[in-house]
Structure formats: structure tokens, C-alpha cells
Structure 1
């Protein structure tokens, strides 16, 4: 039996999924609440049930994107062998970002609250890679690298990717940069 509460939760998730899809494809800076409501085929008052302003809506949608991406990334890590977990993790991060248009990334960088969500997720991801390295070293899958240093190296690159510096220096989009980072890192630490 579908309850009113479960329907509301499902509709809320559906709206956030639609917001994320729209923002990833087109960015968000140029969109008004009226335009967003029209694209999602809902009313502005429905959008206001999700957040009190466009800025809060963008921030909440960005959080929704990273929450969903984290779930997908961790599912890929769980399915990988211990020796393949770092490559699986970084590659999955890159895959999660493949749908992010250049306009979305530009808008994200220009809007401090959403940029902070990305930066926070970058820090979390760097700590997760460090954990995976530590586990891999302990299990003998990786040579005895200094996990904290390797994690810091990854964190530095992740921040450079997030800030668009890798794109400027290499032309790589974020997804490609993460795939290349996974390739170089795993080749350097394999036992």
C-alpha cells in the first residue's frame, strides 16, 4: 500500500533527480525558478517545498547529485577485488562526472555554496582513497607506499581537477582526469 508519506518522498526524489539531470546538462546560473518549474513540469510552489530559494535549490540538488554518485561509486568498489578497489573508485568518480557539462562545472565553480559541496566531497573522496591504499598495503596488494602521502597526492590532484586547473593544463574534462589519475596511481603502487 502506497502511503501519502511514501508518495511524497518518491515525488521529492523524482524532482531532485530531474533537477540534477537538468543542471548537469545545462548548468543552473541562467535558469530562473519559473524556467526550472516549467522544465520539471511542476509549479514554483512545488519547488519551494524542496528549498526556500533558487540558491538553496541549487545547493540541495548538488548535495543530491553527490549523495547519489557516492552510492554508485561505493557499489563499484564493493564489487571489485581488493587490488582493483582504488582504480574502481577513481574510475567510478570519473564516470559519475561524465554527465556534468562544462556549463555545470563553470556554474558550480562560480557559486560558492555549491562549490563548497564539491570541495567537501573531494576531501571525503581523498580520505576514502587513502583508506583504500592503507587496506591494499596491509593486504599485500600494493607495495609498501606511505598511504598518507599517497592520499595527499591524490587529494591534491582531486582539488586541481575540481578547480579546473587540470582541464586548463591538459584539456582533460573531470571524468577523463579521474580515469588518468586511477591509471597512474594504481600502476605506481601495485605490488
Structure 2
């Protein structure tokens, strides 16, 4: 990223870029095609990042940063520990709904984007771990190994996001997240 502070115009451009890439993927786009679709110049794109690879990484980071903000707002509104786990996983599912299969496949195949994705999956596992730990501390959940639960959630999230759960079960990603939330809450409930 060339600048940590963006103008309103740059932020708008980044959000439009995110919308385009999440809907259609990014591996097949050239910079010329991006400038045409976004109706901007290469110079304007280069103000966001210095290369196509960096631009994709910035778009993926922006997407996950905004998704995290939205998810955490929803979790803050829930008070019961089991509700917080369910809200968290359902909010993750909602944030992933607009991501096309092509975008997810491209993200998996492109190391800089995959690193962002994997880091966010680790953050999600840590968050579930914390939600479980909090629930255990107040007696809402039985005494389970929260780190293990977090790892199970992370592994399942990766399978969902790669499309493997959908292929093997026929569940849509959002349905798989709902099932995961139910499974976790029932597994840790006293």
C-alpha cells in the first residue's frame, strides 16, 4: 500500500474494486481491464497500490477489515455467550455470501491473497476461542478446551470457504455456517 490515509475518492475506488473482484474473481483481469471497468486511470489505481498483485492484496485486506467491523458490531449486540457464538458464525457467513466461487478460488491460488485469508481465518478461530473461554468463565458452557474448539472451527471454516463442504454435503456456505454454529453451541452447552 502506498498510503495509509486514503481520500474519499480512493476509498470509493477501493470499494468498487472490492465489489468487482469479489463478484468476478481477479486472476483473469488485467490492469487495463480493471481501469476500463472501474472507469479510472492506471495512475489512479497505482495510488492504491504499486502493482496488480499489491492491488489485489489491498482489496482482499479491505474486504476482510470491513467484514470484521460488521461482524464485531453484531457480536457486541448479543449478550448470552451462546448467542454470541451463533451471531459470530452467522455474521461470518453473511459476510462471505457475496464472495463468488471464482473469487474464493482465485484467493486460494494467489499466495498474497491466500495469506490474508488464512490470517483472517486464524483471527476468527481466536475469536471463537475467546467467546468459548468467556462462556466457560461465566458458567454458560461446560469446561471445554477452548483452543481445540477454535481449531476445529478454523479447520471447518477453511473447508467451507474452499467449497469442499458444499461439494461433499450439498450445503450452501451460509447453511454450513449455521450448522457449525449449532454444532459448537450444542457441543459446549452444559
**1:109 aligned partner:** 108
1:173 CA drift (Å)? 4.0
> Aligned-residue CA RMSD in angstroms?
1.6
Runs of 5+ consecutive residues of structure 2 not aligned to the other structure: none
Higher helix share: 1
| 8 Å CA contact 2:105, 2:162 repeated in 1 | no
1:171 CA drift (Å)? 3.1
1:185 CA drift (Å)? 1.0
Q: Does 1:74 align with 2:52?
A: no
Distance 1:58 1:79 in 2: 32
1:186 CA drift (Å)? 1.2
TM-score normalised to the size of structure 1? Answer: 0.90
1:1-191 mapped onto 2 (5 Å cutoff)? 9-83=7-81, 84-191=83-190
TM-score normalised to the size of structure 2? Answer: 0.91
1:8 CA drift (Å)? 5.1
| 8 Å CA contact 1:87, 1:182 repeated in 2 | yes
Runs of 5+ consecutive residues of structure 1 not aligned to the other structure: 1-6
From the superposition, tell whether residues 167 and 112 of structure 1 become closer, same or farther in structure 2 (CA, over 3 Å): farther
| 8 Å CA contact 1:118, 1:162 repeated in 2 | no
Aligned residues: 185
| 8 Å CA contact 1:96, 1:175 repeated in 2 | no
